[in-house]
Amino acid sequence: MARRGQTWKDGTNPVDPIQLFAEQGCRLARIRLWVGDTGVSKLDEATETALRAQRAGLQPYLVIFLSEDWADMVKQPAPAAWREISLEAKAAAVEAYTERIVSRMREQGVSLELFEIGNEIDFGICGEFEEEWPKRVSLEYMQQRIWPRMTPILKAAQAGVLKVQPKAKFVIHLAQWNKPDYCLAFWKHQRLSGVRVDVPGLSYFPTSSKEPNERSLRYLQTQVDRIHSELGSPVLICETAYPATADFGGQFADWKHAVEGYPLSEEGQALWVVDLARMVRSSRSFVGAVYWSPEWYGGGLWDTFALFDSQGVARPGVRSFRP
């Protein structure tokens, strides 16, 4: 964004958004890493961003996508060089890759302890992925056919990190905050298979749900309390956001189901962030929560969820992180 000439303001004053969020009491910066050394979200840029966050007083945590581009709940493409090789060879390549990138970032001065392997990996990772929805929602099928093929990838990625950072803790991040049975079965399966699930992670986009009872903060608290109880580990909300208007289209055009008590407005967005932050800080079932791309304006598809308006001016929600 900065290279394109975009700027950020707090009122009329130019600001560094990373510094601004640090000043508001934020402590963690989630850093996206795609496979490759140069380019958007690749190693050089991710290292630069992590160092900026670190200098501002934020603790960077690294999301190792194991893809060359976006990967999430609906797609998990493997990098081109890994697509035609065996699962065993892919696991070996993944281990060598994670060892290299963590070593490289440490050499550049990035201090990392928290690592997320994959992003929203409910249905697969790094090409080991189920495309058909009816199969995805069958626990028996996933347990027998897909999850076992994910396990070597996850273990290899963690092994590579641990060679460089023996104190690493690992987030395993799923998208379905409203499907706790599925999530718990997945995390338990992977733990039994030798994958470390130090921090169970969830996405939480309440306005995406057509079920009113699934949108509330109270509902989220109930699901997270259950996860904490059954796994013995508190939960990190890896991604969350709330719209500042109902007037938007694009990829997320259907995410307009307001949470009761929080209108789809800048004021409603700010109040929702205040209450989410209060809940997370006061509950032992949470590690924390990360607002997804609060700085990303001018991208069209995310403008309504960002905490800066379409002109790059801070919305009231920027102040909502304060304790």
Instruction: Please report whether residue 307 resides in a domain.
Output: no
Q: What pLDDT, on a 0 to 100 scale, did the predictor assign at position 218?
A: 98
Q: Please count the other Cβ atoms lying within 10 Å of the Cβ belonging to residue 166.
A: 7
Q: What is the pLDDT of residues 132-188, one digit of tens each?
A: 999 999 999 999 999 999 999 999 999 999 999 999 999 999 999 999 999 999 999
CATH number of the domain to which 204 belongs:
3.20.20.80
What is the C-alpha to C-alpha distance for residues 187 and 180, in angstroms, rounded to an integer? 10
pLDDT at 301 over 90: no
**Alpha-carbon torsion 94, 100, 102, 105, what sign?**
negative
CA distances from 269 to 242, 292, 309, 319 (A): 6, 13, 12, 11
| pLDDT reported for residue 5 | 94
**Across residues 230-235, what is the average pLDDT?**
98
The closest of 305, 289, 172 to 236, measured between CA atoms, is 289
User: What's the confidence (pLDDT) of residue 50?
Assistant: 98
Beta bridge partners of 200: 172
In a domain, 318, yes or no: no
Do the domain assignments include residue 78?
Answer: yes
Of 301 and 229, more confident: 229
How confident is the prediction for the chain on average, in pLDDT? 97
Structural domain includes residue 10: no
Q: How far apart are the first and last CA of the chain?
A: 29
Q: Rounded to the nearest 5 degrees, what angle is found at the Cα of 302, between the Cα atoms of 51 and 218?
A: 90
Q: Is residue 302 part of a domain?
A: no
Of 159, 43, 169, the closest CA to residue 106 belongs to: 43
Q: Is residue 306 part of a domain?
A: no
Nearest to 49 by CA among 129, 93, 108: 108
Q: Helix or strand or coil: residue 264?
A: coil
75 falls within a domain? yes
**34 Cβ partners below 8 Å, 6+ apart?**
40, 41, 42, 65, 67, 68, 69
Residues 242-259 have a mean pLDDT of: 95
Number of structural domains in the chain: 1
The pLDDT of residue 300: 82
Can you give the residue range of the structural domain that contains 127? 28-294
Model confidence over 42-86: pLDDT tens digits? 999 999 999 999 999 999 999 999 999 999 999 999 999 999 999
Q: What is the DSSP string of 220-256?
A: HHHHHHHHHHHHSSPEEEEEE---S-S---GGGTT--
Query: How, if at all, do strands 8-10 and 13-15 pair?
Result: antiparallel
In a domain, residue 84? The reply is yes
Single pTM value for the model: 0.97
Mean pLDDT of 13-42: 97
- Phi-psi region at 261: left, alpha or beta (left = phi > 0; alpha = psi -120 to 50): left
Give the pair of three-digit tokens for residue 23. 């000043």
